[in-house]
Amino acid sequence: VDVDDVRALRDQFVDFMLGYKFAIDEVTTKINILREDFNNTHAYNPIEHVGSRLKSPESVLEKVRRKNYAMNLAAIRENVLDIAGVRVVCSFISDIATIRDLLVSQADITVLEERDYITHRKPNGYQSLHLIVSIPVFRAGHTQRVPVEIQIRTIAMDFWASLEHKIYYKYRGEVPPNLRSDLAQAAEAATQLDEKMEALHRQVDRAAEPKTAAGDALDLS
């Protein structure tokens, strides 16, 4: 093996991954701008927290093997669309659509894929809205469009998903049936909590609305 070839390969890979890191930075900035803007203009903030992760080289390669993709950078770029991941955790179910709409309407964002695991929850109980978008990243020598997976979910959905993730890894994917059914029940409880919180939120919103006497003309000038 030629050492220079190995070095060149490593440099290529570092450069490849850097594009995804920059794309995470771009999307995170977009979300932070929305968050700050909401805080400023609405005295209400639909975003609880924002997280991100760059897929590790090991899990990129694991996915390439599992899905039988070709083992080269061009094929990885084309097929593995979740190397850059950003997670937006919202307070209420209705905030999910608000954030989704605010992101997809941005001129530099193109939606490549959308999976609504809220309307169609996964059989294990997983709920979240997944968007795969592509955004331009302006590099020192060129511009590239980079895919980013954005997961949008409520606090309850996030709580459930993080526990399920731990259990799944603990049992290496072979979750015993009793735990599986407990998890499904917990997912149901999370949905009920989300619905209850949404209803409460609406009630509070209505109570806070300024009361206008019937027949009063609203002067919008």
* Residue ranges in 174-193 that form contacts with ligand 0O2 under rule CB under 6 A: none
Total residues at the site for ligand 0O2 (CB under 6 A)? Answer: 11
d(CA 28, CA 56): 19
Q: In what order do the strands lie in the sheet with 143-154?
A: 47-54, 84-90, 143-154, 129-138, 110-116
Which residues make Cβ contacts (< 8 Å) with residue 79, sequence separation at least 6? 64, 67, 69
Q: Can you tell me which of 130, 145, 180, 201 binds ligand 0O2, judged by CB under 6 A? A: 130
Query: Would you say 6 or 70 has its CB closer to ligand 0O2?
Result: 70
**Would you state the structure tokens that stand for residue 92, as one six-digit string?**
């209420």
CA 91 vs. chain centroid, Å, equals 14
Q: Rounded to the nearest whole angstrom, what is the least distance from the CB of residue 49 to ligand 0O2 in the complex?
A: 15
d(CA 23, CA 73): 17
Stretch that binds ligand 0O2, among 94-102, 158-166, 186-194, 211-219 (CB under 6 A): 158-166
Query: Would you say 91 or 127 has its CB closer to ligand 0O2?
Result: 127
Q: Which residues are catalytic?
A: 149
* Residue ranges in 65-104 that form contacts with ligand 0O2 under rule CB under 6 A: 82
Q: Which residues bind ligand 0O2 (CB under 6 A)?
A: 55, 63, 82, 115, 122, 124, 126, 130, 161, 164-165
